[in-house]
Amino acid sequence: MKSREYMTIPNKITDKSFQMIQDEIDKLAPGYQFDDPVQEAIIKRAIHTTADFDYLQNLKFSHDAIGRIQHLMQHGGTIFTDTTMALAGMNKQKLDDLGVHYHCYIRDPRVFEIAKDQGITRSMAAIELAATVPTEKLFVIGNAPTALYKILEMVQQERLDPAAVIGVPVGFVEAAESKQALYDSNIPAIVALGRKGGSNLAAALTNAILYNLNLTTEG
Mean pLDDT of successive 10-residue stretches along the chain, which has 219 residues: 62 87 96 95 97 97 98 98 98 98 98 98 98 97 98 98 98 98 98 98 98 74
Identity of the residue numbered 199: S
The pLDDT assigned to 219 comes to 45
Which domains does the chain possess? 10-211 (3.40.50.10230)
Through-space distance between the first and last CA atoms of the chain, rounded to whole angstroms: 50
Task: Tell me the β-bridge partners of 19.
Answer: none
The pLDDT assigned to 48 comes to 96
Backbone angles phi, psi at 7, to 5 degrees: -75, 140
Rounded to two decimals, the pTM is 0.93
Q: Rounded to an integer, what is the distance from CA 126 to the centroid of its chain?
A: 17
The pLDDT assigned to 216 comes to 66
Work out the number of other CB atoms within 10 angstroms of the CB of residue 93. Answer: 8
The pLDDT assigned to 145 comes to 98
User: Would the CA dihedral through 125, 128, 132, 137 be positive or negative?
Assistant: positive
Angstrom distance (rounded) from CA 218 to CA 202: 24
The pLDDT assigned to 180 comes to 98
The pLDDT assigned to 66 comes to 98
Angstrom distance (rounded) from CA 166 to CA 61: 9
* Catalytic residue set: 48
